[in-house]
Chains A and B, each alone.
Chain A
């Protein structure tokens, strides 16, 4: 009876609280409450936090011996509001809590920084009643297995994590929180899901069927000594189905670990060791040409199986006649069966202060191979580069690399000024001038056309068809006769039958009678006579035939122009 009354009073309080909570807070402050306000031991509840104000930081949740708090929030809402013209941030979070004992328990203390002050949440309690049943066992089993337990510092270890979840028809398991394993002192690379990452299959274990989820990750010890991979914990709810009424959710807990890994220190490193541990290949590239004083990129690419984070910037250059800036780096990681394949690129901006054909010496890339337990060197060889004399001459170049003088402001961390690179990119032709010229040119053209310059409309000349006809004439059995025929056809109106029967002299007279230019008529007459002579000469002469064809084409061109003039006269 007491339990029922307590539950009723709590539900009333919860309903009232929920009604208030449906509306988001509009004033600066912090609110904390639980959902629901009463829970069975073995169950779980949500700790809800809502903070409103300017510059709201994530909340701090104090340790509590009575609850296990989910490591990450299960809900996050962030937004802004303007209740009275003032801009306020709203941050709402929910964490899952699992009570560890029965009774009236105080929720963990919550504080949040809003602006420059710390706001503490009110004391809030929750009623936890004894559960009728104890948590289920062996519903979920966790296992962690490292590929090796003793390695060199920065050498990779494959950590396989297996999660067995009982696969039975009447049982449904839902994950509410999973935490860890924390791997302090390791650099961790998660392998992608699907490839060598997560697998999901059915297996039998201890006479029961389980669904096995397997995932792998790479761990690289970052320091020597005995390092620990922390506990991996699972927390969920099991729902038993098939009964006459809905079954009460039962809490499921499982954990694995911790594990200990021994990381051996590396032997004494040779000079130039970059920190790379693994099996690597190194290459360097530089442009074939550069301009004195203008930075160009020398790109070093290190690829292989190993920890990319441990590969530091190698000291490759020791030159008095070059300025080498700190490189920009880029890392790519790819999961492979024996670990991860890393590719790290160092882009060194290098400004060469000498001109000419230069040979740039490059120091070898040094790395530690854990298989042989020795330091290895990847030779990079000298780079050849043609350096042209710089723009602006030595004065500007000297100024560019000289230490700045005068009242120097705090510009630490900023990249310095750059010399100019290209002359013609300096000042462009003004756009207005371009537009003016664009507008003026057609006007000038129109004026030119309208100012008495004779305009002759375009008509399709028969000249081009005459070319084809002349080619055909040259290929015929009697080229001279054929050339004369082509000229005759073009000299008279199309389809005039009498033209073919006229002699050369008669053609000339006829053309003159038709008001053709006397010189042109004479030229055609002479051409026809030459054709006749060539025809009756007996011997073929290809050069002479081509000359006749050229002359024929010239005559036809003049005839066409004469016809156009006559037509438009």
Chain B
């Protein structure tokens, strides 16, 4: 528990420094350095709307428009009211002639719960850990001292910990939306380049992932067209909030 708390606090302090350095690099026009710093934060699990917004901006400045769209969508997933991200996403989609083909961020209660879990993930994880550890300590102490109330309190605390862990797991269940990040991505009738091409998708177009996990993913477009696409042609909006290795496509 202490280790987790230390990791959280130390990680947050180091993250602040990295973020500020990235922001300075971004302001000074060192976009590659800024992107690398922001990507480092994302790889470490950082999931704040400002981080994704700024990373999207840097990607757009580097000409990686598809990846920029992914980052702005992530920022809006976490904070739908972040209007700079909304404006930039709209502007970017207009540049790619995709305006009007996007849906607004989902607004159901489960989405609100996921957003809450993303925003407060450290608090949730630390509370879950605290509840779980305290619960077991109380259970052991209750058994030793024959105290029924300790048992009950310990059980409740452990259940709270499990519940919060379940919320965290629910919030980080893999997302189903992905965005094409290359100029033109071929969608095949089957998983493999030897399969005939059904149609093509342009950079920035959103698809729904039906199956994925390997080198090929079966996708569905807004017009309910289905096909298989190479996984490295697109990036999942999230979660998990991953970034590609090695820069541009």
A395 to B28, CA, bound (A): 13
A347 to B82, CA, bound (A): 12
Question: Is the C-beta of A445 less than 8 angstroms from some C-beta in chain B?
Answer: yes
Question: Is the C-beta of A205 less than 8 angstroms from some C-beta in chain B?
Answer: no
Question: Is the C-beta of A433 less than 8 angstroms from some C-beta in chain B?
Answer: yes
Interface-forming stretch among B53-61, B177-185, B210-218, B230-238? B53-61
> Across the interface, do A441 and B125 meet the contact criterion of CB distance under 8 Å?
no
Closest partner residue, chain A, to B22 (CB atom): A417
A445 to B157, CA, bound (A): 15
- Most-contacted residue by chain A among B3, B13, B143, B151 (CB, 10 A): B143
Contacts of A537 in B (CB 8 A): none
> Across the interface, do B30 and A418 meet the contact criterion of CB distance under 8 Å?
no
A-facing residues in B1-47 (Cβ within 8 Å): 1, 3-4, 7-9, 11-16, 19-20, 23-24, 26-31, 41, 44-47
A419 to B148, CA, bound (A): 51
> Across the interface, do B129 and A420 meet the contact criterion of CB distance under 8 Å?
no
> Across the interface, do A459 and B146 meet the contact criterion of CB distance under 8 Å?
yes
A555 to B179, CA, bound (A): 73
> Across the interface, do B4 and A456 meet the contact criterion of CB distance under 8 Å?
no
Contacts of A416 in B (CB 8 A): 57, 84
A409 to B139, CA, bound (A): 61
Closest partner residue, chain A, to B79 (CB atom): A421
Question: Is the C-beta of A9 less than 8 angstroms from some C-beta in chain B?
Answer: no
> A297 to chain B: closest CB distance in Å?
9
Question: Is the C-beta of A391 less than 8 angstroms from some C-beta in chain B?
Answer: yes
> Across the interface, do A418 and B123 meet the contact criterion of CB distance under 8 Å?
no
Contact of B8 among A407, A411, A424 (CB under 8 A): A424
Closest partner residue, chain B, to A347 (CB atom): B83
Closest partner residue, chain B, to A349 (CB atom): B83
Question: Is the C-beta of B133 less than 8 angstroms from some C-beta in chain A?
Answer: yes
Interface-forming stretch among A166-174, A191-199, A381-389, A447-455? A447-455
Contacts of A459 in B (CB 8 A): 146
Contacts of B186 in A (CB 8 A): none
Contacts of A442 in B (CB 8 A): 136
Decide yes or no: A433 and B7 within 8 Å by CB, A404-B27, A409-B61, A455-B144 being known contacts. Answer: yes
Closest partner residue, chain A, to B172 (CB atom): A431
- Most-contacted residue by chain B among A442, A444, A445, A460 (CB, 10 A): A445
A396 to B27, CA, bound (A): 10
Number of residue pairs across A and B with beta carbons under 8 Å?
188
Contacts of B41 in A (CB 8 A): 426-427
Contacts of A457 in B (CB 8 A): 143, 146
> Across the interface, do A437 and B133 meet the contact criterion of CB distance under 8 Å?
yes
Question: Is the C-beta of A80 less than 8 angstroms from some C-beta in chain B?
Answer: yes
A408 to B139, CA, bound (A): 62
Contacts of A421 in B (CB 8 A): 48, 50
> Across the interface, do A87 and B119 meet the contact criterion of CB distance under 8 Å?
no
> Across the interface, do B19 and A404 meet the contact criterion of CB distance under 8 Å?
no
> Across the interface, do A415 and B148 meet the contact criterion of CB distance under 8 Å?
no
Question: Is the C-beta of A494 less than 8 angstroms from some C-beta in chain B?
Answer: no
Decide yes or no: A411 and B27 within 8 Å by CB, A442-B136, A564-B146 being known contacts. Answer: no
Closest partner residue, chain B, to A326 (CB atom): B87
> Across the interface, do B48 and A426 meet the contact criterion of CB distance under 8 Å?
yes
- Most-contacted residue by chain B among A402, A409, A428, A434 (CB, 10 A): A428
> Across the interface, do A417 and B26 meet the contact criterion of CB distance under 8 Å?
yes
Closest partner residue, chain A, to B34 (CB atom): A417
Question: Is the C-beta of A120 less than 8 angstroms from some C-beta in chain B?
Answer: no
A407 to B31, CA, bound (A): 9
Contacts of B9 in A (CB 8 A): 424
Decide yes or no: A400 and B125 within 8 Å by CB, A414-B91, A429-B7, A454-B144 being known contacts. Answer: no
A566 to B54, CA, bound (A): 70
Range, interface on chain B: 35 or more
Question: Is the C-beta of A430 less than 8 angstroms from some C-beta in chain B?
Answer: yes
A453 to B137, CA, bound (A): 14
> B195 to chain A: closest CB distance in Å?
12
> Across the interface, do B20 and A428 meet the contact criterion of CB distance under 8 Å?
no
Closest partner residue, chain A, to B199 (CB atom): A87
> A567 to chain B: closest CB distance in Å?
12
> A329 to chain B: closest CB distance in Å?
12
Question: Is the C-beta of B228 less than 8 angstroms from some C-beta in chain A?
Answer: no
Question: Is the C-beta of B101 less than 8 angstroms from some C-beta in chain A?
Answer: no
Contact of A423 among B16, B30, B121, B125 (CB under 8 A): B16
Question: Is the C-beta of B126 less than 8 angstroms from some C-beta in chain A?
Answer: yes
> B125 to chain A: closest CB distance in Å?
5
A445 to B1, CA, bound (A): 15
Decide yes or no: A427 and B129 within 8 Å by CB, A396-B24, A409-B61, A409-B63 being known contacts. Answer: no
Question: Is the C-beta of A406 less than 8 angstroms from some C-beta in chain B?
Answer: yes
Question: Is the C-beta of B142 less than 8 angstroms from some C-beta in chain A?
Answer: yes
A427 to B140, CA, bound (A): 33
Q: Report A54-85 CB contacts with B as 1/0, cut-off 8 Å.
A: 00000000000000000000000000100001
Decide yes or no: A414 and B60 within 8 Å by CB, A427-B11, A430-B45 being known contacts. Answer: yes
A434 to B46, CA, bound (A): 16
> Across the interface, do B27 and A456 meet the contact criterion of CB distance under 8 Å?
no
> Across the interface, do A434 and B168 meet the contact criterion of CB distance under 8 Å?
yes
Q: Report A448-480 CB contacts with B as 1/0, cut-off 8 Å.
A: 110001111111110000000000000000000
> B142 to chain A: closest CB distance in Å?
7
Closest partner residue, chain A, to B53 (CB atom): A418
Contacts of B63 in A (CB 8 A): 409
> Across the interface, do B57 and A391 meet the contact criterion of CB distance under 8 Å?
no
Question: Is the C-beta of A328 less than 8 angstroms from some C-beta in chain B?
Answer: yes
Question: Is the C-beta of B196 less than 8 angstroms from some C-beta in chain A?
Answer: yes
> Across the interface, do A433 and B4 meet the contact criterion of CB distance under 8 Å?
yes
Contact of A431 among B30, B126, B168 (CB under 8 A): B168
A391 to B142, CA, bound (A): 46
> A137 to chain B: closest CB distance in Å?
47
A407 to B9, CA, bound (A): 36
Contacts of B84 in A (CB 8 A): 349, 415-416, 418
Question: Is the C-beta of B194 less than 8 angstroms from some C-beta in chain A?
Answer: no
A460 to B85, CA, bound (A): 61
3 nearest CB pairs, A to B? A406-B29, A426-B15, A427-B11
Known: A429-B129, A438-B161, A457-B146. 17 other contacts (CB 8 A): A87-B199, A400-B27, A404-B27, A408-B29, A411-B57, A414-B88, A415-B57, A415-B85, A417-B26, A418-B53, A420-B23, A422-B48, A424-B9, A425-B119, A431-B45, A458-B146, A564-B146
**What are 26 contact pairs spanning A and B, CB under 8 A?**
A392-B16, A395-B20, A396-B24, A400-B23, A404-B29, A405-B28, A414-B60, A414-B88, A414-B91, A416-B57, A418-B84, A423-B12, A425-B47, A425-B48, A427-B8, A427-B46, A428-B46, A431-B168, A433-B7, A434-B4, A445-B137, A445-B139, A445-B140, A453-B140, A457-B143, A564-B146
A-to-B contact residues, CB < 8 Å? 80, 85, 87, 328, 347, 349, 391-392, 395-396, 399-400, 402, 404-409, 411, 413-431, 433-434, 437-438, 441-442, 444-445, 448-449, 453-461, 561, 564
